Structure 1
Amino acid sequence: MERAIAHMDLDTFFVSCERLKNSVLEKQPVIIGGGDRGVVASCSYEVRKFGVRSAMPIKMALRLCPEAKVIKGDMEYYSNMSHLVTEVIQEKVPVLEKASIDEFYLDLSGMDQFFGCFQWTNEIADAVQKNTGLPISFALSTNKTVSKIGTGESKPTGRLEVRAPNIQNFLNPLSIKKIPMVGTETFNLFSRLGVKTIQTLSEMPVEVLHQLIGKNGTVLWRKAHGIDDTPVVPYSERKSISTEDTFSEDTIDVQQIKSILSGMVEKLAFQLRQEKWLTSTVTVKIRYSNFDTETKQCKIPYTSSDHTLLRAVLELFHKVYTRRMRIRLIGIRFTGLVHGSHQMDLFEDTEELISLYQTMDRIKNRFGTSSVGRASGFLK
């Protein structure tokens, strides 16, 4: 049986949400982001034609498009709208994967014998727009890679089907940047070799690609040929992420405890970013030497930033640690999770902080989670 995989993507999701609240913003140039030192989290198509893009400093974006209206994002509102869209889609498909706050994969394999997969996907998109008011684009093909590329080519509010016999002809003229796994570094490498289109890439021997970029070369060769066996993973929300540490000896050393908390926060925040989660609730737990256990929690704006989470954790620790008694265990738990990415933190973070986190995450991915961190996290 031939697979039928649809990719759905809400068009300029944050902007579209703001336009639901304020119709005056329709067809106006809109930027969602932080203050003067912040960066662009999202922007409307009216702004993009001036060269504005996500993660660009707000100041630069306004130089390119001075007429743009800058709005600070409301992550809780966007999250609620995303849940609403998820519910609409989930009612109508056998297998749904929520890839991000505004992006979905649907496995409709076998449904063509009942409805016709493209017609069914159209009806789902219509239901999303009717029930939420949000514009959505989709593409339907035999796998995730082709359907995701197809959605990008069909935007805005596009609906596209790429049948199996037409996949290579569809992919060939496109830039290799359209392949999801090709980042700036990989694109620059292949550009220096004169490889800029998917067709040229597909004609390269797989052995050469393996020599250039290792095992990813084989994956890239398969994607350039429209081959992708990655399954659609059923959607489920993670409830929490946590860690705790039981000391070998009970302690009253507050500085040492703060250092351990700092290290815990960094590891959990890194995990949040890797798994593309944001948290809105922080809980700190302590257990005294007599086994009495106390917890305190607080709500915060959705984030996965170390500095925001560490500030909340330390404030809670000072509130919960009320006895001059030795501690045997401390723990941290992040709940109120929403599926998204660190990009959402662009509402709060500056360009310098974002760059710092991206660099630290790259180092951790390459050399391990303990390879870099705050100095306070290493004081034990």
Structure 2
Amino acid sequence: MSQPRTIAHFDLDAFFVSVECINNPSLKGRPLIVGGSKERGVVAACSYEARKYGIHSAMPMATAMRLCPQATVVKGTRGEYSKYSRWVTEIIAEKAPLFEKASIDEFYLDLTGMNRYFNPWQWTIDLRQEIIDKTGLPISFALAPNKMIAKMATNAAKPNGYMQVKPGMEEEFLSPLPVNAIPGIGKQTYQHLLVIGIQTIGDISSRKLSDLEFLLGSYGPELWNKARGIHHGEVVPYYEAKSVSTENTFEVSSTDMDFIMSELVRMTERIAHELRQDDKMAGCIAVKIRYPDFETTSRQMAIPYTCYDDELIPAAKALFHKLYRKGQPVRLLGVRLSEFTGEARQTNLFENSEKKADLYNAIDAVKDRFGKDAIARARTI
């Protein structure tokens, strides 16, 4: 018989708000909203004090201000969020045998088998405390037999708490929870479940599987399994996607800065498109230059997590100009993106971000249909 799995889920509490309060302690204890302008933006995050008024992330700022006119609004400092996220990632990477960075503020750790050497529960408590002591960020966690229950238990432990769901206790933990506590149940499905008399997760597990199949079709068995705590999602190692890069060796070494800049822009656009295809964002960019004598130099810089051309191109240009030996011909040019994270697009819930996302979705749709070079910036033509 295989050993039960031990999965820890860490989630930084009100992450954006917590970072803002560290950088400006006078904001602590206030109804605080991180987001765009009061008239046109959306709520990226809000403090627990603001949540008492019914405010939540992705809500239009105008609505949030009607609910809580006295709220303090800050636009957000994405670079700071990236910095603190990396800090927490480094602490976890130093200690955890296997971990997944699910988003800028969320991590899964697979601790299966660690009980042969020490107590995983105490180990996880100590890791949480180390993160708090070093970064000042509040963080919650839960230990459970699989990813789904670990995430749900973390939500139950918030704010700034922790709990454990031991093997065999899954249904006891799940049964009293509202049915929309199951990840993946949206508003429409939730309303449909209420209409058919299902309010809690226990209401699902008490039904016959055949009844759920009749009422919910193919979704019935999936929900039935989740209500019993059955979930087989694996912790995806963070190091799997290390980087994406491209480089070009010129047929003739060039000192033509217009040509070189056009190539730099074209290459950056190309790998940014690849990044968006994988629904990832990068936290680091590097540029490489090789000269005719084969001397090669490269430099990298940390950046706020992004996958957008207009944010990556200026960073690539800045690196190039720091590296380039003025007047020297360039034989090879390269661009590399690294430090990926999935679901980090939450950092872009600020003013104009929705328009930007729509614009890049339209651009990518054209590239996917007609080729990666179907659309290019004027500089690259």
Please indicate the TM-score interval, normalised by the length of the shorter structure: 0.7 to 0.9
Asked if 1:341 is matched to 2:344, the reply is: yes
- Map of 2:19 onto structure 1: 17
- Map of 2:185 onto structure 1: 182
TM-score by length of 1: 0.74
- Map of 1:46 onto structure 2: 49
Distance 2:337 2:201 in 1: 42
Distance 1:11 1:195 in 2: 30
**8 Å Cα contact 2:204/2:227 also seen in 1:** yes
**8 Å Cα contact 1:265/1:306 also seen in 2:** no
Deviates more, 1:337-346 or 1:259-268: 259-268
Distance 1:299 1:146 in 2: 34
- Map of 2:224 onto structure 1: 221
Secondary structure (helix, strand or coil) at the match of 1:347 reads coil
- Map of 1:153 onto structure 2: 156
Secondary structure (helix, strand or coil) at the match of 1:164 reads coil
- CA-CA distance at 1:122 after TM superposition: 1.4
Equivalent of residue 7 in structure 1, options 5, 9, 17: 9
Deviates more, 1:139-148 or 1:295-304: 295-304
Structure 2, unmatched stretches of 5+, are 250-258, 290-297, 325-331
| Cα deviation 1:83-138 (Å, max 9, x = unaligned) | 22223233333222222221111222233344332222212211111122111111
- Map of 2:110 onto structure 1: 107
Equivalent of residue 235 in structure 1, options 233, 238, 247: 238
**8 Å Cα contact 2:285/2:338 also seen in 1:** yes
CA shift in 2, pair 1:95/1:239, >3 Å? closer
- Map of 2:253 onto structure 1: none
For the aligned residue pairs, the C-alpha RMSD in angstroms reads: 4.8
Distance 1:337 1:23 in 2: 30
| Cα deviation 1:306-353 (Å, max 9, x = unaligned) | 66558989999xxx9xxxxxxxx9987545656651111123534554
Equivalent of residue 57 in structure 1, options 51, 57, 60: 60
- Map of 1:31 onto structure 2: 33
- CA-CA distance at 1:185 after TM superposition: 4.3
**8 Å Cα contact 2:287/2:333 also seen in 1:** no
- CA-CA distance at 1:149 after TM superposition: 0.2
Asked if 1:211 is matched to 2:217, the reply is: yes
**8 Å Cα contact 2:247/2:267 also seen in 1:** no
Counterpart mapping for 1:1-380 below 5 A? 1-36=3-38, 37-202=40-205, 203=207, 204-205=209-210, 207-208=213-214, 211-213=217-219, 218-236=221-239, 238-242=241-245, 264=270, 267-268=273-274, 270-271=276-277, 274-275=279-280, 277-279=281-283, 281=285, 302-305=305-308, 308=311, 333-335=336-338, 337=340, 341-353=344-356, 369-370=368-369, 376=375
TM-score by length of 2: 0.73
Residue identity matched to 1:6: A
Residue identity matched to 1:35: S
- CA-CA distance at 1:4 after TM superposition: 1.5
Structure 1, unmatched stretches of 5+, are 247-253, 286-294, 321-328
CA shift in 2, pair 1:171/1:86, >3 Å? same
Identity of aligned residues (%): 42
CA shift in 2, pair 1:227/1:76, >3 Å? same
- Map of 1:324 onto structure 2: none
Distance 2:335 2:355 in 1: 27
Deviates more, 1:299-308 or 1:23-32: 299-308
CA shift in 2, pair 1:299/1:186, >3 Å? same
Distance 1:296 1:112 in 2: 42
Deviates more, 1:130-139 or 1:76-85: 76-85
Residue identity matched to 2:279: Q
**8 Å Cα contact 2:245/2:334 also seen in 1:** yes
Distance 1:262 1:91 in 2: 31
Distance 1:85 1:315 in 2: 27
Q: What number of residue pairs does the alignment pair up? A: 369
Residue identity matched to 1:270: R
Distance 1:244 1:193 in 2: 58
| Cα deviation 1:249-307 (Å, max 9, x = unaligned) | xxxxx9xx9x9889847733522x623x245648699xxxxxxxxx9999975423466
Distance 2:267 2:122 in 1: 53
CA shift in 2, pair 1:282/1:219, >3 Å? farther
Secondary structure (helix, strand or coil) at the match of 2:10 reads strand
| Cα deviation 1:26-80 (Å, max 9, x = unaligned) | 1111111223422221111011111111112222222211222212222222222
